[in-house]
Amino acid sequence: MSGGRLCRLLGELGYRGAESLDPDSFEWPFQYDDARPILEWICSSLRPSNVLSLAELSQYEQFLQEGKLLEGGDLDSAYDSISAFSSSRDNQEAVFGAEESLKDIRDATLAYKTEALELQSQLSHLQSQFKMLTGQASTLVQGRRARVAATSAVNGHLTTIDDSLSARNLRMNEVLERIASAAEELANYHSGDEDGIYLAYSDFNPYLLGDSSYMREINQWFSKQLDTGPFRLVAEEGKSKCSWVSLDDVSNVIVRDIEISHQQRVSELQRLRSIFGTSERQWVEAQVENAKQQAILVALKSQVASDEAHIHLDLHSLRRKHSELVTELSSLHHKEEKLLSEAIPELCWELAQLQDTYILQGDYDLKVMRQEHYITRQKLVPFLAIFLIELTWTPTILPLLVFTALLFIMYDKTSHYYYYYYLLR
């Protein structure tokens, strides 16, 4: 509604592109409490009568070029220079009336000037608010884009999961259809309705023996799989569905059949029971897997909803953290200025005082003197050893020679090893 008023006002003022403007795109500035009164005042006060036309603008520029435009003090002096009295007495009242009108004009001019100054201050304030609102709008747009990107990514992930689940369901349906068709064919085959006469000249005894051994192994494997563990429940359920016959009851034997045919039928029924038990087990596993996938899908949808709910809260928390970081940076800046202005100059001054008193230089000179004294004492050890070698060999100086050799080894046993060898010899 407010955007439409602004677009109509621009059309009335002669804006050329007013027809192509979208009123809905100008609604967002009216949503802020600081900008709404100013925009409503502009829409209600701005009219073609208080806006300069092109002819008036050209005339104004002409006055500026010719220097005939009076502003400020020139305009006041022009008002003051007008004569307030007339030569004839008849029109004195008209002169006084004109003087009063001039005073009114002067007062109105001053009022207009003050109003213009106030409007300029309001305009600067509005410009600062507009900049702030523009920054907030850009932040909101970026947040909205981030939310849209996150939502699209999650929706794409959900679509991928849904497609994978649909593909798995299709594959499971195909497997179940094949199992059902195979079971139907087996039931039709074992019913004996389509028994025919087959003539053959080959011996089928090896094939029958191989088939019987294969059936024996299959029955053992299915009995091992279905009689133990959780699959036993599925087998018992299949057994309960076949309660119309008991494989262990001898009373169910048909009179006209012999015992061998009865055993064959019992083994065949056991084999069919194992096959149908396996198919039921596969169906149960497929149902469990489908329930798991549905639970995962529900969890993902709830997570997406919670993420969308927390996005708005994250924006406010980021703004609060930003303000805290700004205050912390300002405090650190003040500390840095304090260190640069006070602590570092004081340390430099104290260091200069210590250098003036030669305390540091004296410590260094003392270390150098101790090192030189230690080096000279070490250099005396080889000369002392050579001097003792030149003396006459006597048993009384043997401990002295050994002690000297030990000192010599502690000094440098790599470069003067031959002295030590000579002394011991």
Residue 182 in any domain: the answer is: no
Boundaries of domain holding 379: 364-424
Long-range pairs of 310-319 with CB within 8 A, sequence gap ≥ 24: 311/143, 311/146, 311/147, 311/150, 315/143
Report residue 419's pLDDT band, with 50, 70 and 90 as the boundaries.
very low
Name, in order, each residue with C-beta under 8 angstroms of 95's C-beta and a sequence gap of 6 or more: 83, 84, 85, 86
* Position 279 pLDDT exceeds 80: no
* pTM listed for this prediction: 0.22
Rounded to 5°, the CA angle 249-252-254 comes to 140
Over range 70-85, report the average pLDDT. 64
Model pLDDT, residue 231 = 54
Is residue 393 within 8 Å of residue 423, measured between CB atoms? no
Report residue 322's pLDDT band, with 50, 70 and 90 as the boundaries.
confident
Tokens of 82: 């007008």
Among residues 109, 133, 150, the one where a domain terminates is: 150
Pairwise CA distance, residues 425 & 419, whole Å: 10
pLDDT single digits (tens) 221-250: 777 766 665 555 555 554 544 444 444 444
Residue 159 in any domain: the answer is: no
Is residue 155 within 8 Å of residue 305, measured between CB atoms? no
Rounded to 5°, the CA angle 369-371-372 comes to 65
The burial of 6, by beta-carbon neighbours within 10 Å (0-12 exposed, 13-18 middle, 19 or more buried), is given as buried
The structural domain count of the chain equals 3
**One-letter amino acid for residue 271 of the chain:** R
Pairwise CA distance, residues 177 & 120, whole Å: 83
Among residues 100, 121, 150, the one where a domain terminates is: 150
First to last CA, the chain: 120
Among residues 282, 302, 328, the one where a domain terminates is: 328
More confident: 84 or 300: 300
Residue 339 in any domain: the answer is: no
Residue 400 in any domain: the answer is: yes
* Position 201 pLDDT exceeds 70: no
Over range 63-82, report the average pLDDT. 72
